Each structure stands twice: as C-alpha cells, then as structure tokens.
Amino acid sequence: MSRGPPLPVVQEPVPPTHAPGPAEEALTALWRATGPQFYTPRNIVRQIRLRRRFDLAPVRLEKLRVAIPTAQVPDCDNCLDLCCTGENAVVSLRLRDIAVLMDLGRTDLISHERPPAPPRDKATWARREADGSVFHIAFPVLARDATGTCRALTEDRLCGLWPSWPLSCARYPYALDRRHGVIFYAAGCRSTRIAAVSEAPIAVRALVRAVVDAYNERLRDVLLLAFAREALREQGLLRWVREDLLEGL
C-alpha cells in the first residue's frame, strides 16, 4: 500500500472463523432495519442535531492515506512486551463487542473501571482521544486484573477471545487519525517486522480493513442509540452503557 512496486497477487487463506451468535445476529438485523431511517426526510431534524455532535460520515478506505511502510506488521510471536497491559491499554467496547461477549458467556469481562489517566506526556494518542470523548466514557471497556492486565489473557499470554475479540483489538496496532484521514502505526507497539512478500498483502489489508470497520462501527452505535434505543434495551445490550451520559441522542 506504499508507493513502491505493486505486490504480487497471492491466494489469500481463509480467515479465522467467527460464527455470530444470537445476540450478534439480532444486533445486525436491528441495524439493517434501523440504519436507513436516518436518511429519510422525516428525520431531517434529528439528522441535523446528531451531525452537530458527531461526524457521521462513514470512513471509506479509498479516501484514506495509509502511512505505513509496505509489509510492516506487528511481530506478536517474538514480542517481549505485552500490549494488553499498562495504563494506556484501555479497550473500549462497541455494541457489537458487547453482543459477542454475551454470546460467549463472558460478560464478566465487561467493566467501566478504567485506570487513572497517565500524565499527558506518557499518554498515547489513542488514550488522549478516548479520555476526551463522552461517547467513549459512556461505553464499557474490557476488564483488567489487579496488575492492569486484560482479564481475557490466558496463562500462555494469548488472547482467550480470539478470533472473537473486540474490534479495537482486531485492528491494533494500526490506528486512524480521522481528522487528517490517515491510517498510521500506533506508537504503543514496538515490535514490528517486514512480512514475506506472499504474506504482506494479506496481513496489511486485514489490519487496514479492521481499522475502517472499527471506526464505522462507532457510527452505527450512535445511530442505533438515536433511533432504536428501546430495541437495544430489550436485547440487553444497554445493561453496560451509561445512558445518562448520552442524553440528547
């Protein structure tokens, strides 16, 4: 995806299977029924009100600049660090993430307890962005243990939720600067490698796609909260959402 020579076409492997459960399927069906309502003329007033508070334009991959060297991917297998711990490792959950955890029977991993914000010079870009957003604060995060480590980690320091992990985890360490339309490599990940030619297109495209999906999922959450809150409540998805912080949607 850089300006270098085009990469060869390779046969892409079948991605890890994530089979949607009933809660996730119900949320998907609700979005299909609700999303188009936002764009109807009868909701023009609500459109204007929401657009004053949120940038509701979906991210389109073709409009973004990928500021990542060709084939640069995280080297998780040889990493001596652990991106799932520390004061900056806060994983905000979306409605889709909550639904998946409900299907997995792991709602014990849903929490509103965040570590105290680190000094600004030690806070990552993502942590500063999240702490400044009421929408982020209203939503829960993945629970952490007494050491500040994600409770989804296994004894072997592997993700116990993969491949059904949260959207934010799926795109890390690629991140989006929406203001400037740039996908960049998060500074919090210090373990990188240059993927083999046959692997690079697959790995890079998957992470870039995950960045786009994670951002657009937040937009869907806004619209669902504005137009289908009662249905979300009936599905049990608002049990962990601070609705008092989202007045006016």
For residue range 35-79, what is the model confidence (pLDDT) as tens digits? 888 878 888 888 888 888 877 888 888 888 888 877 778 887 777
Give CA–CA dist 72/82, Å, rounded. 19
Residue whose entry in the numeric block shows the structure tokens 């599905």: 235
* Amino acid at residue number 216: N
- Region 141-167: mean pLDDT is 88
- Give residue limits of the domains in the chain: 22-239
Q: Pick the closest to residue 94 from 14, 210, 180 (CA basis).
A: 210
User: Rounded distance, CA 143 to CA 149, Å?
Assistant: 8
* Tens digit of each residue's pLDDT (9 = 90 or more) over 216-233: 998 899 899 989 999 999
- The pair of structure tokens assigned to 88 is 């900056």
- Separation between Cα atoms, residue 181 and residue 177, nearest integer Å: 6
HSE value, Cβ hemisphere, 13 Å, CA-based, for 176: 22
Summarize the confidence of residues 109-121 as an average pLDDT: 75
